[in-house]
Structure 1
Amino acid sequence: MTTWDPDRYLQFADDRSRPFVDLVARVQGEPSSIVDLGCGPGHLTAVLRARWPEATVHGVDSSPDMIAKADADNDDERTTYELADVAAWTSAEPVGLVVSNALFQWVPDQLAVIRRLAGLVTPGGTFALQVPCNYDAPSHRLLHEVSSRPPYGEHTEGLHGDRGTHAEAYLDLFAGLGWTTDAWETTYLHVLQGADPVFEWISGTGARPILQALPDGLREEFVADYKAALREAYPAQAWGTVLPFSRTFAVARREA
């Protein structure tokens, strides 16, 4: 099972937060209850709280480290956190807004899970999600290529695969439920600083299962090979290294 490091994830907190802010900006209405699926360390709860100060917010994440960080930093009595697997999680009460940021690319059979979770949304409520759609980019293609080579491949078999989802899939899903849906894709141009910044970015998220699957010693060899490939694909400029990153969004509203 992949484990997650809140501090490493927050290394690019501002860049990683922008898609969530853009997603929430498209949500209409005044939900009284909000569930944040895949809430991570809880650093984006403030965005939800600022937008809907009277709502209750419940964050759900499957990482004990992420939930521990969220709980430790939480001083809001209207915000709670829960350790749970989203694939099995449910709510005892209808939810006004279900929001999810960069979670469902990790969930097997995600469309079926989303369809089930949509049933928890109250009439007139909203399901808003964002997922990376960057799996054809050099960063992810090279991750697959380098980690599949000997001697790494015997340790990483089964950890690859295109998990990107385009907007049409979510549009079809929610349209089939009779919901009104706004779905789109955006490419962000992140200007990163420091040494090997693209590796630093992806090592906190997409590359983490690969890195944890490799034994000590071999992991360091892989990191050196992967960094070299990324430097060639993303050359550093005097003002930084540009990482184009595509994301898919969907904001679906259930009929009242």
Structure 2
Amino acid sequence: MRLAMNDRSRQWRKQRISDAFGAAAAHYDAHAGPQRLAATLVADLAYRQKPDGAARILEIGCGTGFLTRDIQARWPGAELVATDLSPGMLEQAASHGLVAGRFMTMDGEAPPFEGPWFDLILSSLAFQWFDDLDGAIARLARLLRPGGSLIFSTMGQGSFARWRAAHDACELVAGVPDYPSLGDLRRLLASYDDAFAFDEDYALACGGARGLIAHLKGIGAVVPSEGRKPLTPRDLRRVMAAFEESGGADAYQVLFGRVTRGG
């Protein structure tokens, strides 16, 4: 019974995430500076890995289509399956005239495909919403054809460090999820024969606490970690003041990983 309750809790959380991103889809692009940069680097890494010969490509968490459009520009002849947990995000991505392919609502942790099928599986800033990152990477890696690569970016432990520090200063716990460190990701990928991970920092010139909150709302990243409750208005004001005192700016630490299946 407890497992069933956990399953229901996970399903409810996934639905909340889907709804939040769907609500943000129409204005997501205006707030998504770091997301653009991370998507471009994922595409660059993939192109260095497979400049040609990618017949089938799966994208996990396509959002409004930053990476999707880059994929199509670099591999125009590939069969592309672009997926996202949020139907609203998929609709936004598919609405761009330069994007063609199959758009599919899908939880990236539970792909409905079986056996080696894809030459590339790409994802940018979606894996941080997974409940089981290790298991998800293993499942996706099994979908790679020989010589195929899984290349992804995800949030790192150093993201929003000043916002977290402002909560600590007020003896409060931030709702921001506990992201893995670069060392954590490297240890996770160590079991694969051909894999690597590295990180990049992207400054977020949010212009203060209100700007940071507007950024998070603008991209739909408003679902707190499980078990963490929203702050009271009084506590939120305290945290915002502490954040302003620290300079009112923050950053993303983005982790990048690649797993290649042997030929």
CA-CA distance at 1:24 after TM superposition: 2.1
Q: More helix per residue: 1 or 2?
A: 2
The 2-side partners of 1:8 and 1:147 are apart by 33
Alpha-carbon deviations, 1:110-139, whole Å to 9, x = none?
111111111001110000011111356022
Q: How far apart are residue 40 of structure 1 and its match?
A: 0.9
Structural RMSD (CA): 3.2
Distance between the aligned counterparts of 2:93 and 2:245, measured in 1? 37
The size of the alignment, in residue pairs, is 236
Paired letter, 1:249? F
Cα gap change, 1:230/1:115 in structure 2, threshold over 3 Å: closer, same or farther? same
Q: For residue 110 of structure 1, what is the aligned residue in structure 2?
A: 133
Report how far residue 170 of structure 1 moved: 3.5
The counterpart of 1:189, out of the listed 203, 209, 212, is 203
Tell me what 1:57 maps to: 80
Q: Which TM-score applies when normalising by structure 1?
A: 0.77
Distance verdict in 2 for CA 1:32–1:189, change over 3 Å:
same
Distance change >3 Å, CA 122–CA 172, structure 1 → 2 = farther
Q: Structure 2: which 5+ runs fail to align?
A: 1-15
Q: Which amino acid aligns with 2:213?
A: F
Shift of 1:103: 1.2
Residue 22 of structure 1: SS of its match in structure 2?
helix
Task: Pick one of 4, 13, 16 that aligns with 2:35.
Answer: 16
Separation in structure 1 between the aligned mates of residue 79 and residue 170 of structure 2, nearest angstrom: 45
Shift of residue 75 of structure 1?
5.1
Alignment partner of 1:84 is 2:74: no
Structure 1 unpaired stretches of 5+: 150-155, 236-241
Judge which range, 138-147 or 61-70, deviates more: 138-147
Q: CA deviation at 1:52?
A: 1.6
| Distance 1:231-1:11 versus aligned 2 partners, 3 A rule | farther
Is 1:208 aligned to residue 208 of structure 2? no
* Shift in alpha-carbon separation, 1:222–1:36, aligned structure 2, 3 A: farther
The answer for the alignment partner of 2:12 in structure 1 is none
Deviation at 1:226, TM superposition (A): 4.7
Shift of 1:48: 1.1
Identity %: 23
CA separation of 1:132 and 1:34: change in aligned 2, threshold 3 A = same
> Are 1:167 and 1:250, in contact at CA under 8 Å, matched by a contact in 2?
no
Is 2:186 aligned against 1:171?
A: yes
Work out whether residues 115 and 173 of structure 1, in 8 Å CA contact, stay in contact via their aligned partners in 2. Answer: no
Secondary structure at the counterpart of residue 39 of structure 1: coil
1:69 aligns with 2:83: no
Paired amino acid for 2:126 = L
Determine if contact 2:166/2:242 at 8 Å carries over to the other structure: yes
In 2, the alpha carbon distance for the partners of 1:110 and 1:142 equals: 28
Going from structure 1 to structure 2, the CA distance change for 1:35 and 1:207 (only over 3 Å counts) comes to closer
Secondary structure of the residue that 2:108 maps to in structure 1?
coil
2:246 aligns with one of 192, 217, 233: 233
8 Å CA contact 2:119, 2:149 repeated in 1: yes
**Superposition deviation, residue 76 in structure 1:** 3.8
State the shift of 1:74 in Å: 4.9
Cα distance between partner residues in 2 of 1:11 and 1:146: 31
Could you tell me which amino acid in structure 2 is paired with residue 138 of structure 1? Answer: R
